Amino acid sequence: MEVVHGCCGGLDVHKESVTAGVVWAEENGKKRREERTYGTFTRDLLRMSDWLRACGVTHVAMESTGVYWKPVWHILEGQFELLRVNAQHVKAIPGRKTDRGDAARLAELLQHGLVKSSFVPPEPIRELRDLTRYRVNLTHECNRIANRVQKVLEDANLKLASVATDPLGVSGRAMLKAIIAGEDDATELAEMARGLLRRKIPQLQAALEGRVSDHHRFLLRELLEHLEFVESKMTRLEEEIATRLRPFEETVEGLCTVPGIERISAWGILSEIGLDMRQFPDAGHWASWAGLCPGNWNSAGKRQSGRIRKGNAWLRRHLCQSAWAVSTKQKNYVSALFRRIAGRRGVKRATIVVAHGLLVIVYHILKRGMVYHELGADYFDKLNPQRTKRRLVKRLEALGFRVTLQTAPQPA
């Protein structure tokens, strides 16, 4: 096979050790290689870096094992051409599986240009990604606390959630704090309602007639304090994310013009991919990387499955949440696309299709600096007016109507 790089290194990364292998191009028909094992402390990684540099290594490939590759990447970044290889692909290579063998095999494959690097965003984007992912985890924690609050309320036979849409909104929290303080009068509690909830004061009075004990008050106090603590952390995270993205505020605002995408979703999308889209030749490559493209599993001329492949689960989550949010909107192209697919294939497939559509829109906004252009909710009807007319007439005739079409006069 053709040698692409003269001297390459391969790293088999673990929690407490890193096995490094170096392979040199053949000289006089002889292949030369060497392997060494290092620890994962900073001083050990620095010694490994010095050894690789002394060997004349120019390119290094490593497995993307959990988070253990990150400190190694930080030490070697800027000194070598680094490639992060999918560990699942390397594992599928036949042969004896040892740490030294894996490291040398990675180096040999890299030497002949047979390994493909996974996308690794630059350091500022990786830091931003850590913040946005932490915020997602805090959101899940808030949801878990809210569920625990609901269980305590049900145990005390307080049916606040049956009347209030958001039991932990402004009105709900005021009532809960009053209950914690010892208030038992359902009438007094119901009068704490704000806004549209005041229309339901009679229902609130019935819902708040429970049997609250000191045990329930203690649990509610602890849960509300925990919820407020987590929400304060979320607020600080959002302020930090907004500060770091301030130089790119125009890009964030451009993404927010897309139906279904708001600031939090825009932050999440940018933190997963960054602003440089040159690593993806087209939107199809990005969709494949994100795991939002249809599966292509054919055998014996038959299509076995179209299930989506694994990809970036965090990016897919942001886009699917945006797709689900836009399903409740009206008078825009994206919501029309959702209803068009959901009517035939169901809401789950429609969510994936719309998430893919949003990804394509975001790609062109980031790659070409384009702005979102609304096609309108009637876009699909105007694609083929004759087909739309035949379909609607057929549905009316199926209901027993006789349909006569007449062209409407054009407005003056």
pLDDT digits (tens, 9 = 90+) for 296-311: 777 777 777 778 888 8
Q: What are phi and psi of 222, to 5 degrees?
A: -65, -40
Structure confidence at residue 383 (pLDDT) = 87
Distance between first and last Cα of the chain = 74
Give the pLDDT of residue 412. Answer: 62
pLDDT at res. 96: 65
Is the four-CA dihedral 261, 263, 269, 274 of positive or negative sign? positive
Q: Which helix (H) or strand (E) holds 312?
A: none
Residues of the chain with CATH 3.30.420.40: 7-111
Q: Bigger pLDDT: 307 or 19? A: 19
DSSP states along 227-274: HHHHHHHHHHHHHHHHHHTGGGHHHHHHHHTSTT--HHHHHHHHHHH-
CATH of 124-244, one of 1.10.405, 1.10.287, 1.10.10, 1.10.1060: 1.10.287
**What is the band of 407 on the pLDDT scale with cuts at 50, 70, 90?**
confident
- The tokens describing 73, both together, are 């990447």
Q: Any idea which residue has 């991919």 for tokens?
A: 273
The 10s digit of each residue's pLDDT in 190-231 is 999 999 999 999 999 999 998 999 999 999 999 999 999 999
Res 276: pLDDT: 86
The yes-or-no verdict on residue 1 having pLDDT over 70 is: no
User: Does the pLDDT at position 48 exceed 90?
Assistant: yes
Q: What average pLDDT does the chain have?
A: 90
In the chain, which residues fall in CATH 1.10.287? 124-244
- pLDDT tens-digit series, residues 341-362: 998 899 999 999 999 999 999 9
What's the rounded mean pLDDT across residues 148-160? 95
Please give the CATH topology (third level) of the domain spanning 7-111: Nucleotidyltransferase; domain 5 (3.30.420)
Give the pLDDT of residue 74.
Answer: 92
Note the pLDDT of residue 259: 94
Of all helices (H) and strands (E), which one includes residue 337?
Answer: helix 333-345
What value does the mean pLDDT take over residues 313-323?
94
Q: How far apart are CA 119 and CA 65, in angstroms?
A: 14
Taking the C-alpha atoms of residue 87 and residue 95, their distance in angstroms, rounded to an integer, is 15
Q: 397: which 2 tokens?
A: 């005739």
DSSP bridge partners of 59: 8, 81
52, burial (CB in 10 Å: exposed 0-12, middle 13-18, buried 19+): buried
Q: How confident is the model at residue 263 (pLDDT cuts 50, 70, 90)?
A: very high
Report helix, strand or coil for 144: helix
How many angstroms from the chain centroid is the CA of residue 23? 38
Task: Give the integer Cα–Cα distance in Å for 277 and 93.
Answer: 31
